[in-house]
């Protein structure tokens, strides 16, 4: 079943809004490419995830919190004060959404009830969010799966040594390669590449 929008008018206005032209002084996609180093395609997706977050925040009476990568897009948009405060908020959202500022460190995602609520609303409105843009606050399962994979590889190498078997050795090697590949692949996703934070 395809999720339906609870506030169709707001979503229609957001769909019609361009984050690439006036009144913005500069395209959000161009700024993201420059600041994060991600490809144009990834940056377009980030802007679309930001559009979705703005829909959720604009249609909810409860406080919500974006993921770190979506918050970066929000920061960039809000820095263009005329485009954000004088045009986007009143004309598209119908109210002003202020991005939280301050010296306090943000809560870890697993301890932030606003972020957990955001994920729940996202799932209701758009379906399950993509983890590279909206990480699951519960990292326990991910850590457990890494541990299990390493134990399987270790067991395969032990069996290869005990039975002098190339099959077990090849299997262990394949598991290690899979772990390393997945780590590399996940580290290249937008959410894991946090070198741009604090700019």
Query: pLDDT tens, 24-36?
Result: 888 999 999 999 8
Range with the lowest mean pLDDT among 84-93, 96-105, 166-175?
Answer: 96-105
* pLDDT the model gives residue 123: 92
* pLDDT the model gives residue 104: 54
User: What single DSSP character describes residue 6?
Assistant: S
Residue 196 has pLDDT above 80, yes or no: no
Residue 19 has pLDDT above 80, yes or no: yes
198 backbone φψ class: left, alpha, beta (φ>0; ψ -120 to 50)? left
Cα gap 119→135, rounded to integer Å:
9
Cα gap 165→162, rounded to integer Å:
8
Higher pLDDT, residue 156 or 194: 156
Domain ranges of the chain: 8-126, 140-187
Higher pLDDT, residue 88 or 180: 88
The torsion angle over the Cα atoms of residues 117, 9, 85 and 44, rounded to 10 degrees, is 70
* Percent of the chain clearing pLDDT 70 (strictly above): 83
pTM of the model: 0.71
Cα gap 199→21, rounded to integer Å:
23
Residue 193 has pLDDT above 70, yes or no: no
Question: How many CB atoms are located within 10 Å of the residue 24 CB?
Answer: 20
């Amino acid at each position: 079943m395809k999720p339906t929008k609870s506030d169709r008018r707001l979503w229609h206005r957001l769909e019609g809004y361009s984050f690439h032209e006036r009144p913005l002084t500069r395209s959000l996609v161009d700024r993201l490419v420059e600041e994060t180093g991600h490809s144009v395609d990834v940056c377009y997706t980030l802007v679309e995830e930001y559009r979705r977050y703005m829909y959720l925040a604009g249609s909810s009476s409860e406080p919500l919190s974006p993921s770190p990568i979506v918050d970066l897009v929000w920061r960039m948009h809000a820095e263009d004060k005329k485009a954000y405060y004088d045009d986007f908020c009143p004309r598209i959202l119908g109210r002003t959404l202020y991005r939280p500022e301050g010296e306090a460190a943000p809560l870890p995602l697993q301890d932030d009830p606003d972020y957990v609520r955001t994920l729940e609303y996202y799932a209701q409105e758009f379906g399950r969010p993509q983890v590279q843009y909206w990480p699951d606050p519960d990292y326990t399962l991910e850590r457990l799966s890494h541990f299990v994979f390493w134990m399987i590889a270790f067991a395969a190498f032990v069996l290869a040594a005990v039975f002098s078997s190339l099959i077990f050795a090849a299997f262990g090697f394949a598991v290690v390669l899979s772990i390393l590949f997945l780590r590399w692949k996940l580290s290249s996703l937008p959410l894991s590449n946090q070198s741009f934070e604090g700019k």
